[in-house]
Amino acid sequence: MSAPHMNPDEFRRAGHAVVDWIADYWATVEQRPVAPSDPPGTVAAALPSTPPTTGGEPVEAVLADLDSIVVPGLTHWQHPGFFGYFPANTSGPSVLGDLVSSGLGVQGMLWATSPACTELETVMMDWLAHLLDLPQRFRSTGSGGGVIQDSASSATLVATLAALHRASGGRWRDTGIDRRYRAYTSTHGHSSIEKAVRIAGLGSDGVRSIEVDPDTQALLPDALRAAIEADLAAGDVPAIVVATIGTTSTTAIDPLPEIGAICAEYGIWLHVDAAYAGSAAVCPELRWSHAGLEYADSYCFDPHKWLLTGFDCDAFWVADRAELIEALTVLPEFLRNAASDSGAVIDYRDWQVPLGRRFRALKLWFVLRWYGAEGLRAHIRSGVALAAQFAERIRADDRFELSAAHPFSLVCFRLRADDDVNAALLARVNGTGRVHLTHTRVAGRYTLRMAIGSPQTTEAHVDEAWTLLANTAKDLLTP
């Protein structure tokens, strides 16, 4: 028997049904509970334990099971009442660009394995650098350049590896390192930094967690300098500082001008992680958050968080692409080709950990052409304005307090009550299924996070969240 491939006509018919299904999902997602409440194992128990022997199931049968088994077990990240973590936007143009990428099924590991995949990506990264007004040194027209990584975590890992290559004078790559190399980030630096440092072979002890200002949660430059001096005195080698624009906990902004000057003084690689807040820089009035970026050796943000481009899409730039490529290049015979040998092309496999790579630039291209700079700015501005309105409600109600500044679209707040009461508040409002918020700790205290940014969220949804919070607070605080 020959394999029953889906022919183009069958694909066309099934594909239309799937696109209709997604459009219906978006049109009705608001009516669903934001997050499921079934116990663990519910979805798995509803699925057969073995795969089908004969195929031929129509796509309608799969869609029916999507509706009855999968969708009830989803947390709906595109729901207008989704306020958890950070947003993970997607959009129509993003999905369509990704669909084209799936349909083409090309591997973009080398320029030669699909030239358009590489060249569109280089241009998209220059477009994004232009949109965010990033320093010239990151553009492909100079010594730098950008590449799409799957995640900010990978960007941090790759930056760490390049930094170790530099700090060890090439030993990290060639012989392995024999001394203790150190990475520095604030106590609010993302967990992916410790993971990167562990993968790089430095061990968790290789990370120096630098104290933050208790009011702003931003890294204290004097504490950074002191940690570097102490390590140098002990014979260790400071390799990389990871500064954050928009920390995950509270969107604190580390003082890049001071941190950058310290890195320059000691010759330490500066990586700037703006995973969530980088998108804000499409708006000129929010670019103050990126002051000092000209010091950075590398920078990344996630269009897949707040810039309407579906996961996965992390935009990562380096100021000196030669260092990165030197650190990561490995050239087996089966990949040798004239274009690579000529040095005239970019081979993105040398800019990342895996060899293979998807054609992710397509979804960016679709998104940027659909929205344009003004459309993207409108999306960011709506989130920032809604967050400001929500913060105003908190400020105006004596029972509540703001726990941190809200420069972007995240508001951190708490009831003026014990941690238990705040945890109960979160559980109760989430229990309604109308909204989904998450929490953090600020200065040790349980704090609620309201992260606005789903494309469907409007003032009415933020008002509803506030009403739920205020009414629940009344219940909780009434003895």
Pairing type for strands 237-244 and 181-186 reads: parallel
Mapped onto helix, strand or coil, the DSSP state of residue 195 is helix
Contact (CB, 8 A) for 447 and 403: yes
Nearer to ligand PLP, 126 or 314 (CB): 314
**Only segment of 107-115, 128-136, 146-154, 261-269 that touches ligand PLP (CB under 6 A):** 146-154
- Candidates 113, 140, 160, 192; binder of ligand PLP (CB under 6 A) is 192
Q: What is the DSSP string of 357-424?
A: ---THHHHHHHHHHHHHHHHHHHHHHHHHHHHHHHHHHHT-TTEEE-S--SSSEEEEEESS-HHHHHH
Q: What is the DSSP string of 438-472?
A: EEEEETTEEEEEEE---TT--HHHHHHHHHHHHHH
Residue 249 near ligand PLP by CB under 6 A = no
Return d(Cα 137, Cα 386) in angstroms, integer.
Answer: 34
**Only segment of 164-172, 201-209, 270-278, 323-331 that touches ligand PLP (CB under 6 A):** 270-278
Pairing type for strands 269-273 and 237-244 reads: parallel
Residue 289 near ligand PLP by CB under 6 A = no
Residues 76-115 that bind ligand PLP (CB under 6 A): 86
Task: Give least dist CB 466 to ligand PLP, A.
Answer: 24
Q: What does the block give as tokens for 43?
A: 């979805």
**Only segment of 14-22, 271-279, 340-348, 435-443 that touches ligand PLP (CB under 6 A):** 271-279
Closest alpha carbon to 269 in 372, 417, 164, 132:
164
**Only segment of 3-11, 96-104, 118-126, 273-281 that touches ligand PLP (CB under 6 A):** 273-281
Return d(Cα 204, Cα 195) in angstroms, integer.
Answer: 8
Return d(Cα 311, Cα 308) in angstroms, integer.
Answer: 9
Closest alpha carbon to 360 in 130, 114, 28, 83:
114
Residue 380 near ligand PLP by CB under 6 A = no
Residue 190 near ligand PLP by CB under 6 A = yes
- Candidates 89, 153, 217, 440; binder of ligand PLP (CB under 6 A) is 153
Residue 151 near ligand PLP by CB under 6 A = yes
Nearer to ligand PLP, 159 or 346 (CB): 159
User: Cis (ω within 30 of 0) for the bond into 312?
Assistant: yes
Nearer to ligand PLP, 316 or 466 (CB): 316
- Candidates 89, 101, 160, 244; binder of ligand PLP (CB under 6 A) is 244
**Only segment of 171-179, 269-277, 290-298, 342-350 that touches ligand PLP (CB under 6 A):** 269-277
- Candidates 248, 409, 430, 454; binder of ligand PLP (CB under 6 A) is 248
- Candidates 194, 302, 347, 350; binder of ligand PLP (CB under 6 A) is 302
Residue 273 near ligand PLP by CB under 6 A = yes
> Where does 133-190 have alpha helices with state H?
152-167, 171-174
Residues 311-340 that bind ligand PLP (CB under 6 A): 314
Q: How many residues interact with ligand PLP (rule CB under 6 A)? A: 14
Contact (CB, 8 A) for 336 and 110: no
Residue 160 near ligand PLP by CB under 6 A = no
Complete edge-to-edge strand list for the sheet that includes strand 269-273: 145-149, 314-318, 298-301, 269-273, 237-244, 181-186, 207-210
Residue 194 near ligand PLP by CB under 6 A = no
Nearer to ligand PLP, 86 or 348 (CB): 86
Binding site for ligand PLP (CB under 6 A): 86, 151-153, 190, 192, 244, 247-248, 273, 275-276, 302, 314
